[in-house]
Structure 1
Amino acid sequence: MSTTPSGATPALRTVLEAGLWHRVYEYDHDDAVKGFGAEAADKLGFDPRSIFKTLVVTTPTGQCVSAVLAVADMLHPKRVAKALKVKSVHMADPGRAQQKTGYVLGGISPLGQRTGIPMLVDTTVEQLDTIIVSGGQRGLSLELRVTDFLELTAARVAHIRR
């Protein structure tokens, strides 16, 4: 008998199956809003530096990489490229990002992605005890201990923000 809820997203299932401490946060997503991370911070009442967004970038060879950073920060593509030891990166086509991760834009989680793509997490994560990320759908967020998150995702920490 499974203890995983049948309606759980792949992100939540990943956390549950790993037996990790976590918290689940839900809010009513407004389809008119395009700043998904800022909306989560606002509706959940969290500092935008404690909620992390997942952006998907592509290298010159076509490899997709998840870049995870605080909602309050902007991605610095040159720093991402340097961390990956490639010449440049650019934002992945939205359709490709959704296909690779298995999630819709605004709900892309770094957890439970369809394909195992490499992941970089900004160094600001090292200042936190817990991290809040998308739970795999708009209006759903998950909080985990930073140490558990980094181990579960096998993410590499690098300075990737502006």
Structure 2
Amino acid sequence: MSAHATLTEELIAFLQGGRLLALASCDAFLSPTIAPALACLVDGDKRTVTVLLSRKQAGRLLADIAGNPHIALLASQPGQPQKLQLKGRDAQEVPLPDNAQACIEAQREAVAAELLPLGFGTRYSYALCDDQQDLVGVRFTLAELIRPLSGMLQRSAV
């Protein structure tokens, strides 16, 4: 990717199409922190990503990014080898976008549709996206994209 590259429509659809999402960071001692993400939104510039989290589940991660803004968003398709990792170097806590609730509801339905053929009922699927107490957004700009390609990792720096 060039210095001005953006996420493609295909990658945006992947990120927002019922994927299991997690946000990862590390503290000053490089001890990793990971938190489940409820949903993510890609801004119109196709480089800025806002991840929606439960503050209760992501407290330590939020503390870590306050001191170290490097972050990774991990997205995987249930039951499939497709995975995607976005890395950013400027993560920060932000107010929730106006469409946060609608985005989480769409994600919940999409996750349920992905997990149902694997034998997981909607109750389980909904539980993955239902911790909506004290929601928070974390925004970052795409710095690196990592995705599997034929059993190997393909890295693209932006």
Which TM-score applies when normalising by structure 2? 0.34
Greater share of strand: 2
